[in-house]
Amino acid sequence: MSSITERLDELRKRIQEEDFLKGKGLSNEVNIRIFCYDPKNEMVVRYFVEQLSSMDLKSNVQIVDLYETFLSICEDKRILNRIPQLEEKRGKEFLEKQFEKTCDAKTFAKKVIDSFDGNNDLLMITGVGKAFPFMRVHALLNALQEDFNEKPIVVLYPGAFDGHYVKLFNRLKSNEYYRAFNMI
């Protein structure tokens, strides 16, 4: 299965399977799956996600875009409109340090958990590349697994995952995350 459209079609099928939704075959591990794709296929994946929300599926999927979550956190902290001025006045490094304090993995995880509708069967995380460097998916998954372990999580990841390390955009230094499984 080499083409992105074939892989996305397989993803659509799998997220509707009862065995997947119940985490069968994971030996009591958390049901976190990573669907890796070549970053060049970002627009195809975005189109798939857009179409997924209007498809008649056997499972209810809640889609969370990490970049939209980041913007929402900034709105909650009342800093969103001030970001351009802060960057111009104080610099990029200052801004990044502020984001590290206010938009950490636990803040993201809380926002995701609070927004999750319990009637949904799974959580699909998108926008991983758009949210970089504000949120790294390995940190978010570590924070999420403490309080969000009843429903499966599928991460659409523009990069590679070898079962131990995630490598964003197939370029950045790998970060260890060993609790997830490859989706396809």
Taking only the tens place, the pLDDT of each residue in 85-97 is: 988 999 888 888 8
Highest mean predicted confidence (pLDDT) among 44-48, 94-98, 172-176: 44-48
What per-residue confidence (pLDDT) applies to 102? 84
β-sheet bridge partners, residue 63 = 124
Burial of 46 from C-beta contacts in 10 A (0-12 / 13-18 / 19+):
middle
Task: State pLDDT tens for residues 47-87.
Answer: 999 999 889 888 899 999 999 999 999 999 898 898 899 88
Task: State pLDDT tens for residues 114-166.
Answer: 999 989 999 999 999 999 888 888 889 989 987 887 899 999 999 988 877 77
Give Cα 105 distance to the centre of its chain.
Answer: 12
Instruction: Please tell me which residue, 1 or 105, carries the higher pLDDT value.
Output: 105
The pLDDT confidence band at residue 176, using thresholds 50, 70 and 90, is low
Continuous segment of H or E residues that includes residue 113: helix 105-115
What per-residue confidence (pLDDT) applies to 109? 94
3-state class (DSSP) for residue 164: coil
d(C-alpha 5, C-alpha 11), whole Å: 10
